Structure 1
Amino acid sequence: MLNDMTCSGELITSENLARLKARSLRKHEKCWLLIDPTLRTLHEDSDLWPIVDELNCHRILFPHPDLDGVMELWLVAITPDNDVLLNESMLAAMNELKPKKLTQGRGRTICGWLISSASIDYLKRHISETSIQPVLDLGTYMLRFYDPTVIAMTSKHLDDWQRNRLFGAVNDWFFLDGDGKVMCQQGYYRGEEQLDFSLSISGTTWEKIKRAGVLNICLNTYRKTSRNEVLVSEKNARLWLEAAMDDLSHTSVWSRPEVYLPLSIAILTQHPSVYLHEDIAVMIARTERSIDKNYQPMADFLQNIDWTRIVEDCQKQFPQHPC
């Protein structure tokens, strides 16, 4: 869930499909499938491609020389009489969430299903130009807000004005989270077109949005290593990991995969506040004071720690965070 006011999620069901189909029937709205075709070679086994190849694909190019000929997106209209495209795109999106494919780094070609009453030209322009953002005092960056693994993190760290502009060309934006739940991000298009597409992102906000990369690595590793266990929901997993990222933002933990991977797994499988336990907090502080900030000893420590004792201590110290 992005936040309580703007987003809701539920598992893919026939009701979800009917809901999207009903939106495509409205005279003043259109339903669009947003695809990243640059990952096609990694998903050639999908039954979606032969269907898409027969349809009119509206290309979205990005106004930056480094992306010319390298990166593009497609918008494909889902019409009321084309149930096959909607059904197959849902199946393709679910198939891309299989742990094996995620751990192989194949990425996700299905970005989402957009409901919009804007013109196709404006919708394309909005996605294209909003994706290239000036960050105050830092430079210009690619904001992959359309990526289903990034959209939640982006929306969460923006204020209302920024969020209004980010989703200013759609009425609603549907996508799948990592649990396979259909999420709906509220859109803000009301018939008016923006003249510019800057979100006025500060350096602090940008640093928080960039965490999406590390967070997704942690989630994918967690799903792979905990395949036979009952998984924490993506909503809670993101909440717990982001809390840890905030609390440890003054350290170099999140730039060291040798330690942030086992630590994130511990947060999701042992207790959300394990990093605050004295034994672990002391090791982090000691490492940060060292000259080379070598986190390998702590990584080894996390592999051999007595988790029963740590969890018991955490349950007493942080009862608001159940295991």
Structure 2
Amino acid sequence: MALDEIHPDKLCRKMGRAVCGWLTSPHPIDDVAKQLGHTAIQQQPDHRMMRMRYYDPAVNSILWLVLEGYRQKRLMGILSRWMLVDGDGQPVIRRHRADSALHLTFLLGLSQAQTDFILHDAGIINRALRRYRLLATHTPRYPELTAARWVREALERLRSHPAFHDDDEREDLAFHILHDHPRIDLHPKIDYLLDPYTFTADVPWRERIRSIGQQTWAQYARECLAQEEQRATENA
């Protein structure tokens, strides 16, 4: 069931995932339930509370990337193992020396960058991954964590750019990062479209790239790859 429900077509139809994972702990199940429930509510740096959907396997895998070791340990708490199936159908097993008792508080002390990732970037990455996987069902593709890292780096490069005024624009960028090239935004033609002298600040990303067809995107991707190979040869 866990493997069947991650088919990209089902996820794009918003059927969701019912199997979150398999957990082990030497502690009573009531304590495990308490930890899981309380950890899902986290405090932002401005002291507002938010829900952290870390129990969702689609979120858990990519969230792990932005948590430091001590926050990972704090999130695991009294759990000794957390097992899940990632979006590529690969098993993920997290092992941990379970804490001797429940924490007095379940707050992770998240930074602003981690909070922004949870509230915005995690959803953008997952929606872009769904589109990407749907088109690459039968072809080689980036593993989940590699894909998440590429998208995260691109979102960071363009975080303050006015063309990406909402999450839909960022999601479309993320899709091109995965489908075309991890640094497609740095291609001279795309860089020109993002230049503040080419368009006014109120022109969104999708309007700027509206005239670029699929073949042109593929050409830009090949040129990005050729440039990377040339740099690698020069530095060898």
TM-score range with shorter-chain normalisation?
Answer: 0.7 to 0.9
Q: Is the 8 A contact 1:256 1:295 kept in 2?
A: no
Q: Find the aligned partners of 1:193 and 1:239 in 2 and give their Cα distance.
A: 32
1:234 corresponds to: 144
CA RMSD of superposed structures (Å): 2.4
Which of 177, 183, 187 is matched with 1:273 structurally? 183
> Residue 109 of structure 2 aligns to which amino acid in structure 1?
S
Q: Describe the shift of the 1:312–1:281 C-alpha distance in structure 2 as closer, same or farther (beyond 3 A).
A: same
Taking structure 1 as the reference length, the TM-score comes to 0.65
Q: Describe the shift of the 1:205–1:283 C-alpha distance in structure 2 as closer, same or farther (beyond 3 A).
A: same
Unpaired stretches in structure 1, ≥5 consecutive residues: 1-91
Which of 99, 102, 115 is matched with 1:190 structurally? 99
| Structure of larger gyration radius | 1
Q: Is 1:146 aligned to residue 55 of structure 2?
A: yes
Q: Is 1:255 aligned to residue 172 of structure 2?
A: no
Q: Find the aligned partners of 2:75 and 2:21 in 1 and give their Cα distance.
A: 15
User: Secondary structure of 1:230's partner?
Assistant: coil
Q: Describe the shift of the 1:140–1:308 C-alpha distance in structure 2 as closer, same or farther (beyond 3 A).
A: closer
Q: Find the aligned partners of 1:288 and 1:260 in 2 and give their Cα distance.
A: 22
Q: Find the aligned partners of 1:164 and 1:221 in 2 and give their Cα distance.
A: 32
> Residue 109 of structure 1 aligns to which amino acid in structure 2?
A
Measured after TM superposition, the shift of residue 215 of structure 1 is 0.4
Q: Is the 8 A contact 2:125 2:171 kept in 1?
A: no
Measured after TM superposition, the shift of residue 226 of structure 1 is 2.7
Q: Is 1:243 aligned to residue 153 of structure 2?
A: yes
* 1:124-139 → structure 2 map (5 Å cutoff): 124-139=33-48
Identity %: 27
Q: Is the 8 A contact 1:149 1:216 kept in 2?
A: yes
Q: Describe the shift of the 1:193–1:218 C-alpha distance in structure 2 as closer, same or farther (beyond 3 A).
A: same
Q: Find the aligned partners of 2:6 and 2:21 in 1 and give their Cα distance.
A: 14
CA deviation vs aligned residue, 1:87-107 (integer Å, no higher than 9, x gap): xxxxx1111111221111111
Q: Larger deviation: 107-116 or 245-254?
A: 245-254
Q: Find the aligned partners of 2:37 and 2:101 in 1 and give their Cα distance.
A: 17
1:105 corresponds to: 14
Higher strand share: 1
Q: Find the aligned partners of 1:196 and 1:287 in 2 and give their Cα distance.
A: 50
Measured after TM superposition, the shift of residue 195 of structure 1 is 0.9
Q: Is 1:171 aligned to residue 80 of structure 2?
A: yes
User: Secondary structure of 1:201's partner?
Assistant: coil
Aligned residues: 229
Q: Describe the shift of the 1:259–1:145 C-alpha distance in structure 2 as closer, same or farther (beyond 3 A).
A: closer
> Residue 118 of structure 1 aligns to which amino acid in structure 2?
H
Q: Describe the shift of the 1:254–1:317 C-alpha distance in structure 2 as closer, same or farther (beyond 3 A).
A: farther
> Residue 146 of structure 1 aligns to which amino acid in structure 2?
Y
Q: Is 1:313 aligned to residue 228 of structure 2?
A: no
Q: Find the aligned partners of 2:89 and 2:142 in 1 and give their Cα distance.
A: 13
Q: Find the aligned partners of 2:56 and 2:190 in 1 and give their Cα distance.
A: 34
Q: Is the 8 A contact 2:124 2:170 kept in 1?
A: no
Q: Describe the shift of the 1:287–1:239 C-alpha distance in structure 2 as closer, same or farther (beyond 3 A).
A: farther
Q: Is the 8 A contact 1:171 1:186 kept in 2?
A: yes
* 1:1-323 → structure 2 map (5 Å cutoff): 92-210=1-119, 211-252=121-162, 253=164, 255-257=166-168, 260-261=171-172, 263-286=173-196, 290-303=200-213, 306-319=216-229
Q: Is the 8 A contact 2:35 2:106 kept in 1?
A: yes
Q: Describe the shift of the 1:307–1:292 C-alpha distance in structure 2 as closer, same or farther (beyond 3 A).
A: closer
User: Secondary structure of 1:96's partner?
Assistant: helix
> Residue 222 of structure 1 aligns to which amino acid in structure 2?
Y
Q: Find the aligned partners of 1:247 and 1:284 in 2 and give their Cα distance.
A: 12
Q: Find the aligned partners of 1:138 and 1:250 in 2 and give their Cα distance.
A: 24
CA deviation vs aligned residue, 1:105-151 (integer Å, no higher than 9, x gap): 11111000001111111101100111111111151000111110111
User: Secondary structure of 2:57's partner?
Assistant: coil
